[in-house]
Copies of this chain bind each other. A is one copy, B any other.
Amino acid sequence: MKKSFIRIVDGGICVVDDVEASGLKNGKYGLTIIKRENSIGAGLFTSNKVKAAPVIYTKKIISDGEISIIVANSGNANCFTGSGGMADCDKMVELTSKLLNIPKNQIAIASTGVIGRTMPMEIILPLIEECSKNLENSSKASKDSANAILTTDFVSKEFSVEVTLLNGKIIKIGGIAKGSGMIAPNMATMLCFLTTDAYGEKDILKKALKEAVDLSFNMVVVDGDESTNDEIILLGSKNKDNSILTESGGIDSNFQEALNFLCQNLAKMMAKDGEGATKFIEVHVFNGKSQNDVIKASKSIVSSSLVKTAVFGGDPNWGRIVSAVGYSGADFNPNNVSISVNSKDKTSYLVKNGEILGFEDTSSLKDAEDIMQEKEIKIIVDLNNGSYEATAYGCDFSYDYVKINAEYTT
């Protein structure tokens, strides 16, 4: 739900004045450079034990100091590439540093693509050269960046907002993202780069970012595999006039809500553009006993292969939904649960307080069948067991998911 202090604006990452960007594709490979000198950077990274070389590299760079440039490539993940992987990171950073005259320790890198193959440096390095010549602050530059990092996803993902802080000051936040298969849990296979002219110390920015990511990317499930390459980087300003700290020392709640809203919109774009997706699924679980319970239940539903194939087939299958809640580990009594499906302005109850309506009420079943034909479907589950709620995002499971991932290319 968008609040009145948030305005959706154009510009993507270039919504922030002193950000420059460029992006290029070369066949299945792509590259973007995002430049914003002396930013305060906050980053979140994959929790997979197998971490790509650029993840290991950038994690250290971000914790050590300021960030002026992000270089990100698509087509090859530079992961599980032995000692050569880290050397390739160095080469990318070295060239960028030389071309743009930025200290090496202010350059973050990220990669996405196939795992376990050496980086094609003969393609990546020329892309860095090209991109470094075309940096500019424009909507087109942001869009080019968003396009350059796509792999098996089709639609570039950008979002930007203006937000009025509690003190009346107006600041901006912009973002681009990629993500398609291997999404979940814990923000798997995604890259997301965010810019803002707001100011906060590193720890404050990271705290705000963590909350936004928990409510957005960490609630997206495409296939349950977790990537080795996830990176989310937020570049904040050093302009203390735009501080997001309130007088009492907390994070400005308007800023936090705007960041959450922006990340949720990027997360939904990812789910809609999931590999082979034909339908977008939003699962809202409420009245749970704890936050953990509603997160587990909503993610279990949106991850279930059987729910996902049912949605693909247009089947309002309450049995598979309740079963997924049942094995999620969430506390609830099946006899008290209510389940409905919704699309656009139409809602149909499948189960009310444990009683299945489809048995007797054929009109409600007919409505549900109509809803399941829509492209965007909401599954709503009332656990009737407390007051917590969570929303998870995903997509259906189609023949094309299998096709995309069964293709063997060396």
CB distance from A17 to the nearest CB of B (A): 39
A120 part of interface (Cβ distance < 8 Å): no
Number of chain A interface residues as a range: 35 or more
A188 part of interface (Cβ distance < 8 Å): yes
> Is B48 touching A327 in the complex (CB atoms < 8 A)?
yes
User: Among A93-101, A165-173, A219-227, which stretch is in contact with chain B?
Assistant: A219-227
Chain A residues 372-409 with CB under 8 Å of chain B are 397-399, 401-403, 405-408
A-B contact pairs, 27 of them (CB 8 A): A47-B327, A49-B327, A50-B323, A79-B319, A80-B318, A80-B323, A80-B351, A82-B335, A82-B355, A115-B320, A115-B322, A116-B322, A181-B306, A182-B306, A224-B303, A224-B305, A225-B306, A226-B323, A227-B323, A309-B401, A310-B406, A312-B406, A313-B407, A314-B408, A317-B408, A397-B402, A397-B406
CB distance from A408 to the nearest CB of B (A): 4
- Chain copies in the assembly? 2
Question: Across the interface, which residues of B come within 8 angstroms of A331, CB to CB?
Answer: 49
How far, in whole Å, are A306 and B188 apart by their CA atoms in the complex?
13
Task: Give per-residue flags for A351-368: 1 if the beta carbon is below 8 A from chain B beta carbons, else 0.
Answer: 100111011000001000
CB distance from A203 to the nearest CB of B (A): 27
A49-B326, A49-B334 in contact; A398/B405 too (CB < 8 A)? no
Question: Across the interface, which residues of B come within 8 angstroms of A305, CB to CB?
Answer: 223-225, 305, 401, 405
Known: A49-B331, A182-B306, A401-B402. 15 other contacts (CB 8 A): A50-B322, A80-B323, A80-B351, A81-B356, A114-B319, A115-B323, A116-B317, A116-B318, A116-B356, A224-B305, A227-B323, A306-B405, A310-B406, A312-B402, A312-B406
How far, in whole Å, are A350 and B335 apart by their CA atoms in the complex?
51
Question: Across the interface, which residues of B come within 8 angstroms of A397, CB to CB?
Answer: 402, 405-406
> Is A50 touching B325 in the complex (CB atoms < 8 A)?
yes
A324 part of interface (Cβ distance < 8 Å): yes
Question: Across the interface, which residues of B come within 8 angstroms of A322, CB to CB?
Answer: 50, 80, 115-116
Task: Give per-residue flags for A69-88: 1 if the beta carbon is below 8 A from chain B beta carbons, else 0.
Answer: 00000000101111000000
Contact partner, A334, options B80, B182, B317, Cβ 8 Å = B80
Q: Which residue in chain B gives the minimum CB-CB distance to A314?
A: B408
> Is A49 touching B406 in the complex (CB atoms < 8 A)?
no
How far, in whole Å, are A314 and B406 apart by their CA atoms in the complex?
8
> Is B405 touching A310 in the complex (CB atoms < 8 A)?
yes
CB distance from A405 to the nearest CB of B (A): 4
CB distance from A48 to the nearest CB of B (A): 4
> Is B402 touching A225 in the complex (CB atoms < 8 A)?
no
A115-B319, A309-B406, A405-B309 in contact; A225/B327 too (CB < 8 A)? yes
